[in-house]
Amino acid sequence: MIDNDIQFNKKRDFSDIINVTFGFLRQEFKDLFGTVAIYTIIPLVGLAVVSVFFGQYNWSNYFEGLVNNTPNMTEPNMGLILLLLLLSMLTHIMILGITFEYMHLYHTLGKGNFTRGDVGQAFAKDFFSILGFNIILFIVYIFAFIFFFIPLVYLSVALSFIIMVKIAEKKGFSASWSQCFALVKNNWWFTFGLIIVMSIIIGVISQVFSIPMMIYGGIQGYTAATGSNLETNYGIMTILSLFSTLGGSWLYVIMYVMLGSHYYSLSADNGENSILDRINQIGDRPLEDSV
């Protein structure tokens, strides 16, 4: 059953969304994560390296201060902070965009009927639109947070799959915004629950990737606190940071697959895209069994 195409455009309940998410991840694990890894490994390595220097810059003086009983934090390095933010945004956009592009090609062309190059080309074509969407959303979320916290929560849930709408329906920002609210209408708590469940799952699994760095940091702190000679091994720190960054970032593919599956389910329930998708898929893909 898992070797057959997964039919995304199908109305599903809460448990079905979870099941189809992990079913798709099991079926496409090698190809999906391989595609995400190929296109995101360079910026993620850059993010890991910058994180090491940022952490060392901020904590070295603090640990040294512990030895002299005068712990003190240094002034923030704005250049490192800006670079860290830019790399974080870039990796977020790339992982999100590539995952959604992969799902869209899978949905329209079928399993095995597209390549990693096709995913890369589709993402490159949509990159600046996805970047623009994220910048606008960031500004919207800031204003929502300033005025009150509840609008921020509501908007972040309602717009959680706006990039999927843009990719699948080729709409601009305002049309994608409206479509998100139309789909989430009467389904906000449903969407919120899915995000909470997936966040808990990702949070638990991500601890596996962060434990080595936490242990090393604890050893460094204990060494400084006991007055021993503090020596930082940048090679070990870089490896541990890379392990934590890669694992923690790629785990969000799980969240994006869930959001994409949820979008297709709501679209099928809404009835606006399901018929059109079936028509568009005639002749584009072989007739296969679906789940």
Residue 80 resides in a domain: no
Give the closest residue to 91 by CA, choosing from 133, 131, 143, 144.
131
Distance CA 58, CA 84 (A): 14
Residue 159 resides in a domain: yes
CB atoms within 10 A of CB 258: 25
Distance CA 38, CA 98 (A): 11
Residue 110 resides in a domain: yes
Number of folded domains that form the chain:
1
- The backbone torsions φ and ψ at residue 244, rounded to the nearest 5 degrees and listed phi first, read -70, -40
Kindly write down the DSSP assignment for every residue of the chain, as one continuous string.
-TTSBP--SS---HHHHHHHHHHHHHHHHHHHHHHHHHHHHHHHHHHHHHHHHHHHHHHHHHHHHHHTT---PPPP-HHHHHHHHHHHHHHHHHHHHHHHHHHHHHHHH-TTSS-HHHHHHHHHHHHHHHHHHHHHHHHHHHHHHHH-HHHHHHHHHHTTTHHHHHHHH---HHHHHHHHHHHHTTTHHHHHHHHHHHHHHHHHHHHHHHHHHHHHHHHHHHHHHTT------HHHHHHHHHHHHHHHHHTHHHHHHHHHHHHHHHHHHHTSSHHHHHHHHTTTS----B-
The partner residues of 290 in beta bridges, in order of sequence, read 5
In the chain, what's the furthest Cα-to-Cα distance? Answer: 74
Interval 182-212: pLDDT, tens: 999 999 999 999 999 999 999 999 988 888 8
Interval 234-243: pLDDT, tens: 677 778 888 8
Enter the pTM of the model: 0.82
Give me the residue label for tokens 């860290």: 84
Inter-residue contact 28 to 256 (CB < 8 Å):
no
Residue 21 resides in a domain: yes
Q: For 69-78, what is the mean pLDDT?
A: 59
Per-residue H/E/C for 115-158:
CHHHHHHHHHHHHHHHHHHHHHHHHHHHHHHHHCHHHHHHHHHH
Residue 74 resides in a domain: no
Residue 96 resides in a domain: yes
Question: Where residue 289 falls among pLDDT bands split at 50, 70, 90?
Answer: very low
Question: What domain range is 156 assigned to?
Answer: 14-40+88-281
Inter-residue contact 264 to 8 (CB < 8 Å):
yes
- One-letter amino acid at 249 equals S
Residue 248 resides in a domain: yes
Interval 149-194: pLDDT, tens: 778 899 999 999 999 999 999 999 999 999 999 999 999 999 999 9
Question: Where residue 288 falls among pLDDT bands split at 50, 70, 90?
Answer: very low
Interval 94-141: pLDDT, tens: 999 999 999 999 999 999 899 999 999 999 999 999 999 999 999 999
Give me the residue label for tokens 């039919």: 7
Residue 284 confidence (pLDDT) above 80? no
Residue 8 resides in a domain: no
Residue 213 confidence (pLDDT) above 80? no
Distance CA 195, CA 83 (A): 29
Question: Where residue 59 falls among pLDDT bands split at 50, 70, 90?
Answer: low
